[in-house]
Amino acid sequence: MNLLIKRSVVKPLLIPLTAVTAGSFLVSYRLFKYAFERVDHVPPTSKEKQKYADDYYDYVAWMKQTASQTWTLNANSPENKVVASYIPATRPTKKTVIIAHGYKGNRETMANYVKMFHEMGFNALVPDDRGHGESSGNYINFGWLDRLDYLQWINRVIDHVGKDSDILLFGVSMGGATVEMISGETLPPQVKALIADCGYASIREELTYLLKQQFHLPEYPVEPLVSGINRHVLGFSLDDVSSTKQLAKNNRPILFIHGGRDTYVPVKMAYENYRATKSPKQLWIVKNATHAESFWYNPTAYRKRVTAFLETYFK
């Protein structure tokens, strides 16, 4: 499947201001730009994870020094070019993990997970999503359009590694939600299992939660206005971006991981995603971990839990 997006041009929005105040619209538009517009740097991590900085940069240095290839989708379409790093395993293998990064991150920010899977004998494909890193796009789509790019990445892996490939999908935060949303698509048999770390249940629910927690704003009329702006710019409403709806169609084994002290994507969303899933599933709540901290809190326990899941479902 080839996904091509036309260059975004913000035209005057056809949203009647008679229903809302101009002030509400202005607030919503500024929020849209704050949350959805790309930034070409990785924002600082949370205070809770600052203590892992030295380890993080060691992982990044390892990834930069490890032999890799640069893969590209839509190379002849500047508005749609998507870039990834492919890191082959030390020994030839049919096992490949495709790793999805988090919000305002890039493939480099997944270096610790790349190294973990590399040591477990996997090839690794690590894309920059649209609106991130070296990939094109002026706006972040929170995994909804990215999921279609990942279907192309899956086919690229099969073409490169072989039709007897065994593929694992893995993601953290927005990447976790991206994996969850990919799960509802028609996947080739080479995709054997999925792991989603701290993914949200839906972007509407996540935005509504953050409106109250961070900005002290009501859901109405802000969320419907942001959704309308997003539909105008990117072609879909926030109601479309739902992990739970996609997981209801999933038929692959999946491991959900979530920090018990996550106040960015609240842990109740992990339970929502788990309940929505009818396929074989596991849920691991890392009691004292904050958002996207589960690996860093105890890397040995994290790897052990992932290994146990793979020994059961990835054969």
> Has residue 172 been placed in a domain?
yes
> Has residue 57 been placed in a domain?
yes
CA pair distance 67, 52, nearest whole angstrom: 25
Instruction: Please state, for a pLDDT cut of 70, what percent of the chain lies above it.
Output: 94
CA nearest neighbour of 139 among 222, 225, 34: 34
> Has residue 60 been placed in a domain?
yes
Q: Find the mean pLDDT for residues 119-147.
A: 98
Least confident of 32-41, 66-75, 139-148, 284-293: 32-41
CATH of the domain at 179: 3.40.50.1820
Query: 196-253 pLDDT, tens per residue?
Result: 999 999 999 999 999 998 888 888 888 999 999 999 999 999 999 999 999 999 999 9
Structure tokens at 218: 């009501």
Least confident of 27-41, 181-195, 247-261: 27-41
Q: What confidence score (pLDDT) does residue 12 get?
A: 47
> Has residue 18 been placed in a domain?
no
CA pair distance 104, 44, nearest whole angstrom: 10
Q: What confidence score (pLDDT) does residue 16 get?
A: 54
> Has residue 222 been placed in a domain?
no
Instruction: Please state, for a pLDDT cut of 90, what percent of the chain lies above it.
Output: 84
Q: What confidence score (pLDDT) does residue 22 get?
A: 78
> Has residue 33 been placed in a domain?
no
Query: Does pTM surpass 0.85?
Result: yes
Tell me the C-alpha to C-alpha distance, in Å, between residue 177 and each of 8, 81, 197, 200, 211.
24, 22, 8, 6, 19
Inter-residue contact 174 to 141 (CB < 8 Å):
no
Domain range for 117 is 48-206+243-313
> Has residue 199 been placed in a domain?
yes
Give the number of domains in the chain: 1
Q: Where are the beta strands (DSSP E) in 93-180?
A: 95-100, 123-127, 166-172
> Has residue 9 been placed in a domain?
no
Query: 20-48 pLDDT, tens per residue?
Result: 477 788 889 999 999 999 998 899 888 88
